[in-house]
Amino acid sequence: MAYELNRRNFLYAGLGAAAGTLPLTPHDAALAQGGSARWASLTPGFTVLVTEFIRYHKLDQKNGFTLGAPTVYTSVPTYYSDFDVGNFDVCIGSWDTFAVRYLGGVPCKYICNITTADMINIMSSKGGPNSVNDLAGKVVAAPQSTGTYRMACAVLKEFHNIDLETVAKVQNVTNPAGSVSLLRAGSAQAALTWEPNVSNGIAQDPSLQVLFNVGASYTKATGQMLPYFGVAARRELLDHDPGIGARIDGTFRDCIAGILGDVPGAVKIVGERTGFKPEVLAEAINSKRLSFKYSSMTDPVARKAADAAIDFCVRNKLIASRPDDGFFFEG
């Protein structure tokens, strides 16, 4: 695993060599303590709800291991790149992002899904476009650099025969909140975004509406769930402790069940640390747009849905090829 060769690591390696032993990297030294893993959260966003719910209820310890305090990131590229190089072990993110990284050589395994793509929506103002067929000639605000944007475009093209960038003028924004801002300002007639930004936009401006749900459209066309966010872990961690993958899986299973079992209690734990008011987060969950749905890659039904989603992504050139079975956690 790559790690930073700074002065401390250099001296550490030299001491190991002087003792006639192969030195441990800082990451290996942490693993040698056994039963622990490093993870992270991304703010603003709903992943803070997941990490804080697990910490509050000590679900990691109840499943037989320890997750330390998560490293908090505000930059999506830095968050993923730090996972790529092994700066933390357990990552919550979009499944297709993990697939691309696995194909690129990042040693990781995908453990479970925790949400569906029902999170991804196109919004408009009431009195504006009422269906995706009304987007022709309209300005659509969207974060074009994201995999979420490309996923939405693929669903529109394959199942609705709509090439968004041909029929509409797409106005790029840097984040999903920016899409809603342009819509509210009247600079766009539609906005591609995802929860909790959808519920937050409606709370701030009741004239907004959901025009199109990406995940629901995929499910209607295929009969399968389209996964979105899930959990991956570094191979070093899984190889060091062969049982920890199942414990990570169980922790997130218990987390999603707990959140859905008591939504008001769950959002109270996190407060506004997601970047959204608790009532907005509760509405996102209760509307089922922020669709928490746990499924393990050890479950054949979930694997079938994942395989179908991979085929869809390869067919639409969202990922270069099918990851081999080494990508999936198998228990």
Does 10 reside within a domain? no
The contacts of residue 259 (CB under 8 Å, 6+ apart) are 49, 50, 53, 266, 285, 292
Could you list the residue range(s) of the whole structural domain that residue 124 is in? 120-222
- 2-16, 94-108, 127-141, range with the lowest pLDDT: 2-16
Q: Helix, strand or coil for residue 156?
A: helix
Together in a domain, 112 and 124: no
CATH number at residue 144: 3.40.190.10
Domain termination residue (choose one: 222, 247, 269): 222
CB 72 within 8 A of CB 52: no
Together in a domain, 149 and 269: no
pLDDT at position 14 over 60: no
pTM here is 0.86
Tally of structural domains, the chain: 2
Q: What single-letter amino acid sits at 310?
A: I
Does 14 reside within a domain? no
E strand or H helix at 201: helix 197-204
Does 28 reside within a domain? no
Does 5 reside within a domain? no
Together in a domain, 129 and 200: yes
pLDDT at position 19 over 60: no
Does 288 reside within a domain? yes
Q: pLDDT tens digits, residue range 25-72?
A: 444 434 433 468 999 998 888 999 999 999 999 999 999 999 999 999
pLDDT given at position 3:
33
Nearest to 270 by CA among 36, 113, 258: 258
pLDDT at position 15 over 70: no
